[in-house]
Chain A
Amino acid sequence: DVQMTQSPSSLSASVGDSVTITCRASQSIDIYLNWYQQRPGKAPKLLVFAASTLQSGVPSRFSGSGTGTDFTLTISSLHPEDFATYYCQQSDSAPPTFGQGTKVEIK
């Protein structure tokens, strides 16, 4: 299985800050990398697929980049509703696997 490693595991930031989350795959996954947001008690929400394509309805302050083994999710200006846990997930090969999550907390 492809192992996905996210960093950091948590971070503290303020409304308006820009934050970047990193995800690394244990082998090349081309661009087959998704990002999800999960608020407490809610289902995960697909934000980005194919490394950099925003899912319909997702605000443009979210952006994804990367290819191969190294990927990033950037939130350009944090809004209050962005404080949540973010997961990366590879969709290149079965079984699909997830990172352990990055919790974005209010400073």
Chain B
Amino acid sequence: QLQLQESGSGLVKASQTLSLTCTVSGGSISSGGHSWNWIRKPPGKGLEWIGYIYHSGNTDYNPSLQSRVTMSVDKSNNQFSLRLASVTAADTAVYYCARGRPSGADYDFDYWGQGTLVTVSS
């Protein structure tokens, strides 16, 4: 059974960089045809897709965040990561990692991590 687990700092100061890692177990991040995504849910608001990365390193980011987002993949440790620069209080959210269904269904999210709360402090 595939499992995803987010980890990283739960408290980030405003203007600094948020960094999270998603560890994949029960399957290989390099097995083809899946996008590896980050999605967030601010308190009291809806879900927002941040972007994805493939094991090849190809990425696609939400234009609303593109200038501040960087994703990377570490195939040797079966992990992928998110960096979000210049954070503000508006970036406070539960952050989820999720897998896209195979065969190019990049935006159908079939496995999710439990989520991790990141709070931006002033």
In the bound complex, what is the Cα–Cα distance between A89 and B105 (angstroms)?
A: 13
Find out whether the CB atom of A95 lies under 8 angstroms from the CB atom of B46.
no
Q: Taking A49-B101, A98-B47 as contacts, is the C-beta distance between A91 and B107 under 8 angstroms?
A: yes
Is A97 in the interface zone, CB < 8 Å from B?
yes
Residue of B nearest to A45 (CB): B112
Chain B, interface size category, equals 20 to 34
A-B contact pairs, 28 of them (CB 8 A): A34-B108, A34-B109, A43-B96, A43-B98, A43-B112, A43-B114, A44-B109, A44-B112, A46-B108, A46-B109, A46-B110, A49-B105, A55-B110, A87-B47, A89-B107, A89-B109, A91-B105, A91-B106, A91-B107, A94-B60, A94-B62, A94-B107, A95-B63, A96-B49, A97-B49, A98-B48, A98-B49, A100-B46
Best-surrounded residue of A34, A87, A96, A97 (most CB of chain B within 10 A)? A96
Given the complex, which residues of A lie within 8 Å of B110, measured CB to CB? 46, 55
Chief secondary structure at chain A's binding surface: loop
Q: Which residues of A contact B (CB under 8 A)?
A: 32, 34, 36, 42-46, 49-50, 55, 87, 89, 91, 94-101
Given the complex, which residues of B lie within 8 Å of A45, measured CB to CB? 112
